[in-house]
Amino acid sequence: MDTPNRLRFAVGLAVLATMLTAAQTPSGLRSDPGAPIVVTGTRPTRAEARERAAAFVRELGVASGERPVARWADPVCPVVRGIAEPYARIVQTRMRAIAATAGIEAGREGCHPNISVSFVGDAAGLMQEVQRRSPTRLNEVQANDRQALLNGAAPVRWWYITETRSRHAMRNAPQSLQTETGGQGGGSFSASGSFDADAMSQYNSSIVSTQVNRVLLDAAVVVDFDDVSGRSLESVAAYAAFVAFAEVRAADASPPGSVLGMFGQNAGVETLTDWDMAFLRALYRLPLDREARRHRGLLVRDMVGFQTGG
């Protein structure tokens, strides 16, 4: 991690830590440690699966326009704040189990946190305090989406810090890539619609590879106690895991049959669905050094394969 991002990451975690109390009990939240991770359903036809997968990817806002996918390249290491240790352990355990099922590498116990999940009584108030104390923390969130983070009423809010690396994992890859601005809430894109990188030599050529990867460096998820009341702790953990492991750019995204709709149209969903897991598996097997349009195609292809068995 380069020095500016390392400082933003460290300051951001310090701000969250000082504003949260680790002795709260998740009032209104249920706990069911035996809850399943994946909900299975009727296997769709290949045509149905392709149509649904394309809609799923489009709804999430990943790889939209010219902006390629970002995902974790380093092992994920979640930390949970704002609730007592036994409850925090339940959330961490669920998130790590989801990572293992999806093929996402997780750091060992005691690893340096790069994902923070904060339970608070006033999410909007916390976000405004983060903005006041550490305004650079939200640098990658577009202006109108920042307003949704600061003043919206969403039960769960999130944002990311990203980095561009070479396809060989060297940091600060050599170009300024133009992107399409848009989306809502939890995105990790700049208001200028581009992201820049420093010069670097490349030793091979490809008509397919972009030679660069976008990676997630830090994800922050804020959960409002009052707005998630009545949900199980495992359900909230599953929701937090999904938005932490994937760069969900649309804050109001809720594809049919997804855990992201658990506070709205999919109110009966309690954990990651088979579609959610198919997306995460597809996300973590695709090559990052591809154009956004190829990412969209690969995500849809692999999701269809997972859903149809081939």
Q: What is the pLDDT of residues 163-195, one digit of tens each?
A: 999 876 666 544 433 333 332 345 543 333 344
Q: Which of 19-23, 201-205, 296-300 has the highest mean pLDDT?
A: 296-300
Element (H, E) at 177: strand 177-178
Please report the pLDDT score of residue 25 as a whole number: 55
The contacts of residue 261 (CB under 8 Å, 6+ apart) are 254, 255, 267, 269
Please report the pLDDT score of residue 156 as a whole number: 94
Q: Is the pLDDT of residue 13 over 70?
A: no
Decide which of 128 and 207 is more confident.
128
Mean pLDDT on 110-131 = 93
Closest CA to 273 of 281, 78, 231: 281
Decide which of 283 and 168 is more confident.
283
Please report the pLDDT score of residue 296 as a whole number: 95
Predicted confidence (pLDDT) per residue in 247-272, tens digit: 998 777 889 889 999 988 777 888 99
Q: Is the CB of residue 148 less than 8 Å from the CB of residue 251?
A: yes
183-198 core/surface letters (b: 16 or more CB in 10 A; e: else): bbbbbbbbeeeebebe
Q: Is the pLDDT of residue 286 over 90?
A: yes
C-alpha 266/C-alpha 270 separation (Å) is 9
Considering just the CA atoms, what is the radius of gyration of the chain in Å?
A: 19
C-alpha 197/C-alpha 302 separation (Å) is 30
Burial class (CB within 10 angstroms; exposed 0-12, middle 13-18, buried 19+) of 264: exposed
Please report the pLDDT score of residue 87 as a whole number: 96
Please report the pLDDT score of residue 167 as a whole number: 72
Mean pLDDT on 260-287 = 91
pTM beyond cutoff 0.85? no
Q: Which residues are 219's β-sheet partners?
A: 115, 160
C-alpha 131/C-alpha 220 separation (Å) is 13
Q: Is the pLDDT of residue 226 over 70?
A: yes
Categorize the per-residue pLDDT at 142 as very low, low, confident or very high, splitting at 50, 70 and 90. Answer: confident
Tell me which of 47-51, 170-174, 240-244, 292-296 is least confident: 170-174
Categorize the per-residue pLDDT at 2 as very low, low, confident or very high, splitting at 50, 70 and 90. Answer: low
Amino acid identity of 70? A
For residue 231, the 8-state DSSP code is S
Please report the pLDDT score of residue 90 as a whole number: 96
Burial class (CB within 10 angstroms; exposed 0-12, middle 13-18, buried 19+) of 212: buried
**61 phi and psi, to 5 degrees?**
80, 10
C-alpha 300/C-alpha 287 separation (Å) is 14
For residue 85, the 8-state DSSP code is H
User: What is the share, in percent, of the chain residues with pLDDT greater than 90?
Assistant: 51
Closest CA to 218 of 53, 12, 2, 66: 12
Please report the pLDDT score of residue 191 as a whole number: 31
C-alpha 275/C-alpha 38 separation (Å) is 9
Q: Is the CB of residue 266 less than 8 Å from the CB of residue 31?
A: no
Q: Is the CB of residue 72 less than 8 Å from the CB of residue 216?
A: yes
Closest CA to 223 of 94, 119, 71, 80: 119
Decide which of 87 and 38 is more confident.
87
Q: The tokens of 228 are what?
A: 């998630």
Phi-psi region of 268 (alpha: psi -120 to 50; beta: other; left: phi over 0): alpha
Q: Is 70 helix (H, G, I), strand (E, B) or coil?
A: strand
Half-sphere exposure of 148 (CA within 13 A, CB side): 20
Q: Is the pLDDT of residue 227 over 50?
A: yes
Please report the pLDDT score of residue 277 as a whole number: 96
Indicate the domain borders of the chain: 3-308
Mean pLDDT on 1-24 = 50
Tell me which of 12-26, 112-126, 248-262 is least confident: 12-26
C-alpha 194/C-alpha 144 separation (Å) is 16
Predicted confidence (pLDDT) per residue in 66-116, tens digit: 999 999 999 999 999 999 999 999 999 999 999 999 999 999 989 999 999
